[in-house]
Amino acid sequence: MSKHIAVVGLGSMGGAMAAQLVEAGWQVGGFDPSPAARAAAREAGVAAVDTLEALAGTPYVVLSLPSAAVVEASLPVLLASPGTLAVVDTTTSQPDTSAACAARAAEQGVAFVDAPVSGGRTGAAAGRLSAFVGGEEDAVEAARPVLDALTGGQFRHLGGPGSGNVVKLLNNVLAAVNLVAVGEALAVARAYGVDPAAAAEGISGASGASRASSAMYPDWVLSGSYDSGFSLGLMARDAALAVETAALRGETPRLLSAASERWQEALAALGPAADFSEIARTVAPTLTR
């Protein structure tokens, strides 16, 4: 099996994945339009190049990009030279784009799977991400060496092309709902003189528990650190995409839509670069420092 791989997109997640692949013994090339991102990747042992074209034909490719449009534009460049076996797209993208990319890659005998990931920088650096995988059975098998390297085997094949992005968007919009709901609930607790940290701990041991109550608010909001490493702009985008994806199949999820609107309000107030845990500043300002 070839151990040559290219990582396209060397930001927070892509850079961490690339560095971990180097440590795992892969020969890793990489590209990012940011000179600073390329320089940081080189310090981690990645052979970062100055043009995407230089990576065409690499046997394995990992995409970690900001949007479906960038994925769609990058794929033809990467497939312009023969030699690529599998493309693993870890971008939180649009399901229809993933399906179209899979079809285009298959025409050239290349496997393409959508495999958006969860686990943050820590999981990426440890090779212990979770991945929501969509693709044909043979494409997933072709991509398995990369999926195993990124997740330690902890990935779930959910269905055909695009399925991974459907479930990842639903995962993220549920997290978005929980962050709004828990913030509002803890603000009510404070209004009654109850310590929000104690309330969060109590809720987290009962039926109202969620990652928002057990970890996100205690670790990032009540501590005042706001350092999850995931931006408010990306979460607002993902929540909106989830609602748009539902509408394409005639679904009208009213609670998810209402939560998405709260994220758009926070985006307008705080800007895209704010940490996503800072949603608390707009939905529960009495909790924030």
Q: Which of 37-51, 109-123, 168-182, 204-218 has the lowest mean pLDDT?
A: 109-123
Same domain for 60 and 171, yes or no, is no
pLDDT value, residue 126: 87
Same domain for 68 and 122, yes or no, is yes
Same domain for 105 and 55, yes or no, is yes
Q: For the whole model, what pTM was predicted?
A: 0.91
pLDDT value, residue 118: 87
Residue range 90-95: mean pLDDT, rounded: 95
Give the tens place of pLDDT for each residue, 262-274: 999 999 999 999 9
Domain boundary among 141, 160, 179: 160
pLDDT value, residue 124: 87
Residue range 135-163: mean pLDDT, rounded: 96
pLDDT value, residue 280: 98
Residue 231 scores a pLDDT above 90: yes
Total tally of structural domains belonging to the chain = 2
Domain boundary among 99, 128, 160: 160
Residue 261 scores a pLDDT above 90: yes
Same domain for 69 and 84, yes or no, is yes
Give the tens place of pLDDT for each residue, 131-145: 999 999 999 999 999
Domain boundary among 160, 180, 196: 160
Same domain for 144 and 220, yes or no, is no
Active-site hit among 38, 168, 237, 262: 168
Residue 102 scores a pLDDT above 80: yes
Same domain for 241 and 145, yes or no, is no
Amino acid at 159: G
Chain-centre distance for alpha carbon 13: 8
CATH of the domain at 181: 1.10.1040.10
Identify the band that residue 71 occupies on the pLDDT scale cut at 50, 70 and 90. very high
3 classed as catalytic:
no
pLDDT value, residue 70: 97
Domain span holding position 100: 4-160
Residue 1 scores a pLDDT above 80: no
Same domain for 99 and 180, yes or no, is no
pLDDT value, residue 137: 97
